[in-house]
Structure 1
Amino acid sequence: MRPPRITPSEVDVQLAEKHTLANGVALYTLASEDFEVLRFSFVFRAGSAVQTVPFSASAAANLLAEGSTEHSAQQIAEQLDYYGSWYDVNIDRDYAYISFATLSKFFDHTLAVAEEILLRPAFPEAELRTYAAKRRQRLAIDRTKVDVEAREAFARALFGPRHPYGISSSEELYDSLTRRDVVEFYRRFYTAERCFVVCSGRIGDHELQALGNLAGRLPRRGVVEDPRFPAPETVHEAFVDHPGAVQSSLRLGRLLFPRQHPDFVGMQVVATALGGYFGSRLMQNLRERNGYTYGVVAAMVNFERAGYFAVATQVGTDVTRQALGEIYREIELLRTDPMPEEELALVKNMMTGEMMRILDGPFGIADVTIENILCGTDNYIIGENIRRIRSMTPDDVLKLARKYLAREDLVTVVAGPAGLGSRF
């Protein structure tokens, strides 16, 4: 007999304990004795939106471990490998995330390597030139793909080509990136004023003190003013010519608001119903009924200073117009016909289940904690968001779709072969 399905209506998520260090860095801890592992993440407000030299933000983040004042890149990598430690770098428009994970018994060794990477990177000229050449080649190859062309064109259409969230710099600018550019970016933005740390796992007094000592040594440089963001310059239709393409890449959506907005969670429900899971409306239409695509997704995307709704898919060039028509039609149905209670219940369960999956384990909780800190809140919001999701009604979905998804407000971008530009 199949066990009964249990859908939680309340979720009690561990709250991070906050410690403020002498240099002002906030250190958040999520202690757990269940596993003999530990992860600590340094989050710097050092994303590409604050760079003045193209690619300097990503270069600074990715070259941190490519040599220190004491060891070469190879020696650093060998030390991490020897202790089975995991090191990861991620950078987006707003933030750089530098993370280390280790078995508890090797914490001290891993922290010593982290200290070199974070406090004493050398940014060797030879490593920079190798990195820049590889990244230039990779970006040039990526930009031969219609999905990358559409993604970049969609950002330009939403924000404008001069906006930090919409800029697409030429890959040739990697050639003019200098070590001085990278060092200056690191000096200005990898500071105590622009950092917080989240540590999860088996954390005792020794680990807390040692990590606090490291984070407490991040230098204070004073407040660095971020570049002023121009007002978005939205274009509602854009076409990217890709001769010889056998598929078109489609992006539809519109500027909305960041995660702090009271309608963000509700619009996540709308986006999930439209294209957020395998049985969503767009998947049923474009894949199952019409065979236009292997997959389609709809989602709310969050930046620090903006957010947007987006639909993305790739279809055969011969059915581009038909696929766009079906996407518009499904969006319009959300705006005109109340969603059946059974469908909405499934969407709620899917969203709740995905949240439970993410929160399974100390590292997942740490990831959500970081996201909540960036949004100016704490883990209490998780339970509140679940309550919001569970309380959504078909009328709520209808009102949100009518308010935010009018056809005239949507931005449409197509990347594909010539001749399609006048067909949507």
Structure 2
Amino acid sequence: MSEASRAMRSAEQIGRTAAGPRSVPALIPGARGRLPAVSRTRLDNGLTVLAVRKPRSPLVEVRLRVPFGGSSPVHAARAELVAATLLLGTAGRDRRQVDADLAAVGGHLDTGVDPQRLLVTGSVLASGLPTLLDVLADCLTGAAYRKDDVLGERARLVEHLMISAAQPASVAHRLLQQRRFGEHPAAWDVPDAELVGTVGVAAVRGLHGRAVVPDGCTLTLVGDLSPGRATAAAAQALSGWGADRSTRRLAPPPAIVGGPLLAEHRAGAVQSQVRLSGPAVPRSDPDYPAHQLANLVYGGYFSSRLVENLREDKGFTYHARSTLEFWPERAAVTISFDTATPATAAALLETQYELGRLSLQPPTEAEVDSARNYALGTLATSLATQAGLASMLSMLAGSGLDEGWLREHPKRLVATTVDDVAAAAATMLAPAAFTGVIVGDLDAIAPGLRGLGTVELP
């Protein structure tokens, strides 16, 4: 083989032939499967059970969503420990027995918490669903919160949070949360390590007793099941779970207001973390499909303008993205990337330029079609599995939506026009609507940032 034949060819060379550029195949709309029927039952204790038959594998996916809003940083610290120790044993089962009972039926359970909800997730062989529900009910009604378990998990969490708090990305996230939400509980998605270190066993038990209650919760079951029998099994297993109060939902956070970016000094940093955020519309808004597509065109996937500019053209960052985030009655579009210290000001300028360009000049038909196919394809992919469908239904329930949204949203995406996307971009992506933070070595980056006029320097 000759040296020429062994030589590496560039992407541009591969994309051309003797007759000219290779043609790009037309985009093919992704197939949209039929959404299975959803059985919805509200039990006597206020728990809503969603059951869906999707028998592609002999498993059942389980999602228990408990609204878990608080009003102080202390709640966030206690909530983290409730999530960490909820499944570590009951009066009748120690942590080893919990694990053994679940393993015997091919099941597992995990927990997670944020300012909006406590979430118990898991899966089990379909034949073992009654056993998993029994273990879950035992933990919900009789979690032991043994001293050794709570203090052990507390020490682990404190160490993890202290390590995380020193990471640049964590610093940028914390500052962004404070910048856009102030002292609202939505800002406390990562609890303070010192506060976690003060939480005792009695406080964990007390929060469970007050907040882990069924009225307002949603239990989602998806898999190889009979919806009627699965709902009956859940009703029987959880009949002893009750309370004289309802769950507490997170209060709507304040609206995000555009303004200068806050700069935080990190001496000697070789990279800067840049985070911008502005208001968006919730999923329930009729204009949400247009806003979703506008976000995708801007920076929501790899073929977006932001990625093309910052990564492919300028080489300022390996990964840039814009995402949509949701809270009760609020939504945000958030832009994030890390870049080398010398490129910080230039990368921020290009980011704001792309915001202004898309908010003032409509996207092309090809850009909207590409974003639409991506949105339809990712939604179809997420619903194709038992786990994906269970998670989606649980998430929608937390937003006050149901499976009807899943049926209608693809149709709305298809009907959204370029003009609709342009109108959404004109409001959502206007540069003046954004605020944010920059974490980096200000000794090196301040002169360039000062020239932009959009950064608040100390």
TM-score between the two structures when normalised by the length of structure 1? 0.92
2:138 aligned residue (116, 122, 129): 116
Q: Is 1:354 matched up with 2:378?
A: yes
Displacement of 1:421 after TM fit?
A: 4.8
Secondary structure of 1:192 counterpart: coil
Contact 1:10 1:383 in 2 (8 A): no
Higher mean alpha-carbon deviation, 2-11 vs 95-104, is at 2-11
Q: Equivalents in 1 of 2:251, 2:114: separation in Å? A: 18
Secondary structure of 1:299 counterpart: strand
1:165 aligned residue (183, 186, 192): 186
Q: Equivalents in 2 of 1:350, 1:421: separation in Å? A: 38
Displacement of 1:47 after TM fit?
A: 4.7
Aligned to 1:201: 223
Q: Equivalents in 2 of 1:232, 1:14: separation in Å? A: 36
Aligned-pair identity in percent equals 21
Task: Give the aligned residue type for 2:185.
Answer: P
Contact 2:69 2:248 in 1 (8 A): no
Higher mean alpha-carbon deviation, 8-17 vs 261-270, is at 8-17
Q: Is 1:338 matched up with 2:362?
A: yes
Task: Give the aligned residue type for 1:188.
Answer: R
Secondary structure of 1:252 counterpart: strand
Contact 2:68 2:249 in 1 (8 A): no
Aligned to 1:216: 239
User: Per the alignment, do residues 151 and 416 of structure 1 end up closer, same or farther by CA in structure 2, a change over 3 Å counting?
Assistant: same
Displacement of 1:15 after TM fit?
A: 3.4
Q: How does 1:99-178 map to 2 (within 5 A)?
A: 99-160=121-182, 162-167=183-188, 169-178=191-200
2:327 aligned residue (291, 303, 307): 303
Higher mean alpha-carbon deviation, 412-421 vs 120-129, is at 412-421
User: Per the alignment, do residues 211 and 230 of structure 1 end up closer, same or farther by CA in structure 2, a change over 3 Å counting?
Assistant: closer
User: How many equivalent pairs are there?
Assistant: 422
Aligned to 2:10: none
User: Per the alignment, do residues 9 and 193 of structure 1 end up closer, same or farther by CA in structure 2, a change over 3 Å counting?
Assistant: same
Deviations 1:143-178 (A, max 9, x none): 111111111111111111x11112465311122111
Q: Is 1:55 matched up with 2:84?
A: no
Q: Is 1:37 matched up with 2:37?
A: no
Unmatched 5+ stretches in structure 2: 1-23, 450-454
Q: Equivalents in 1 of 2:398, 2:383: separation in Å? A: 17
Aligned to 2:272: 248
Displacement of 1:220 after TM fit?
A: 2.2
Deviations 1:327-385 (A, max 9, x none): 00111110122211112111111111101110112322222212222222321212321
User: Per the alignment, do residues 233 and 377 of structure 1 end up closer, same or farther by CA in structure 2, a change over 3 Å counting?
Assistant: closer
Higher mean alpha-carbon deviation, 187-196 vs 345-354, is at 187-196
Displacement of 1:8 after TM fit?
A: 4.9
Q: How does 1:366-381 map to 2 (within 5 A)?
A: 366-381=390-405
1:239 aligned residue (260, 263, 266): 263
Contact 1:40 1:101 in 2 (8 A): yes
Secondary structure of 1:380 counterpart: helix
Deviations 1:9-55 (A, max 9, x none): 86531231111212222111101333211122211111556775341
Contact 1:15 1:378 in 2 (8 A): no
User: Per the alignment, do residues 323 and 348 of structure 1 end up closer, same or farther by CA in structure 2, a change over 3 Å counting?
Assistant: same
Higher mean alpha-carbon deviation, 177-186 vs 26-35, is at 26-35
Q: Equivalents in 2 of 1:138, 1:381: separation in Å? A: 38
Contact 1:10 1:387 in 2 (8 A): no
2:210 aligned residue (188, 193, 206): 188
Aligned to 1:383: 407
Query: Higher Cα Rg: structure 1 or 2?
Result: 2
Q: Equivalents in 2 of 1:112, 1:324: separation in Å? A: 53
Higher mean alpha-carbon deviation, 4-13 vs 332-341, is at 4-13
Q: Equivalents in 1 of 2:253, 2:61: separation in Å? A: 37
Unmatched 5+ stretches in structure 1: none
Q: Equivalents in 1 of 2:206, 2:73: separation in Å? A: 10
Q: Equivalents in 2 of 1:298, 1:359: separation in Å? A: 23
User: Per the alignment, do residues 369 and 227 of structure 1 end up closer, same or farther by CA in structure 2, a change over 3 Å counting?
Assistant: closer
Secondary structure of 2:338 counterpart: strand
Task: Give the aligned residue type for 1:163.
Answer: H
Displacement of 1:67 after TM fit?
A: 1.8
Displacement of 1:232 after TM fit?
A: 5.5
Aligned to 2:105: 83
Secondary structure of 1:354 counterpart: helix
Displacement of 1:410 after TM fit?
A: 0.9
Displacement of 1:138 after TM fit?
A: 0.9
Aligned to 1:399: 423
